[in-house]
Amino acid sequence: MKKSIIACAVQQPCNRGRDTNLAYSLSRIQAAAQQGAELVVLPELHLDHYFCQSEDTECFDLAQAIPGPSCEPLAEAARANQVVVVSTIFEKRAPGLYHNTAVVFDKDGSIAGTFRKMHIPDDPGFYEKFYFTPGDLGFKPVQTSLGKLGVLICWDQWYPEAARLMALAGADLLIYPTAIGWNPEDEAAEKQRQLQAWITVQRGHAVANGLPVISCNRIGFEAAPDQAPGIQFWGNSFIAGPQGEVLASADDVDDCLLFAELDPKRSEDVRRIWPFLRDRRIDAYGDILRRYID
């Protein structure tokens, strides 16, 4: 980033069907731009309900090519509003080969780059391994007119290696489109532990790498297609600065736009006083490539 930018995280429900979800996301891009945003981040898989609550082969029909039909209106929204847009799309790469893919549209409507989700969960209510092939594009920032965007997706946000590799590749900020929520049957204390862990680990990535973080989650209850309890998506989207300081945050229910000014000079200043990249012992980290040290 050569200058300060105004970033916006769009916190929205995604359970209204594709046409309505897409139209709403487009309206929020426009609203964000009208309020000064230059970068707009949408939640993970914002075009559809969270279909990964069950394993259903018919859900593969939701996937589409990139570029594809949903890319066209998103690209036009980026061009018409002169903003950079980060979307995530269920990508059909080939018959039987699908990815959870972030698509970054630059201000001119072109696709600046993509990132395929690297870490794929497989847990009750989050059966993503059934649908998504792990990404094969690596941890490479997307170069845009605003700078290099270190885009990662949801489960990637728990891994310090992913954030560090984006930082080492020159990312100016870290971006996490997300779809995460509570099991409604969990106790209130457990819900808070999960939420605080989610916030803390991402703020930790900001601190450890001296970079701003944008974390953008969906909201609303989405029922499971079987007898499972469903998911209450917890929102709490936030934007943090390079020392993990929270610049803007949402609650767990409000449909809203979050704005923050991100200044590359601040990241530079923080890295000068906390030179973590300088003091890394890369000569001693060989075991990080092992699954476990017996």
Q: 129 catalytic, yes or no?
A: no
Q: 44 catalytic, yes or no?
A: yes
Phi and psi at 269, nearest 5°, equal: -65, -40
What single-letter DSSP state applies at residue 242?
T
Q: Are the C-beta atoms of 219 and 233 separated by less than 8 Å? A: yes
Q: Please report where in the chains the tokens 């930082």 appear, as a residue.
A: 167
Q: Which two tokens stand for residue 107?
A: 């201000």
Q: Which two tokens stand for residue 185?
A: 């049957």
CA 46, CA 90: separation in Å to the nearest integer?
A: 10
CA 13, CA 108: separation in Å to the nearest integer?
A: 27
Burial of 183 per CB tally in 10 Å (0-12, 13-18, 19+): middle
Catalytic member of 92, 107, 117, 148: 117
- Contact residues for 202 (Cβ-Cβ < 8 A; gap 6+): 157, 174, 176, 213, 215, 238, 240
Catalytic member of 44, 91, 128, 222: 44
H or E segment to which residue 104 belongs: strand 97-105
Q: 72 catalytic, yes or no?
A: no
Catalytic member of 8, 14, 71, 154: 154
Active site residues per annotation: 44, 117, 154
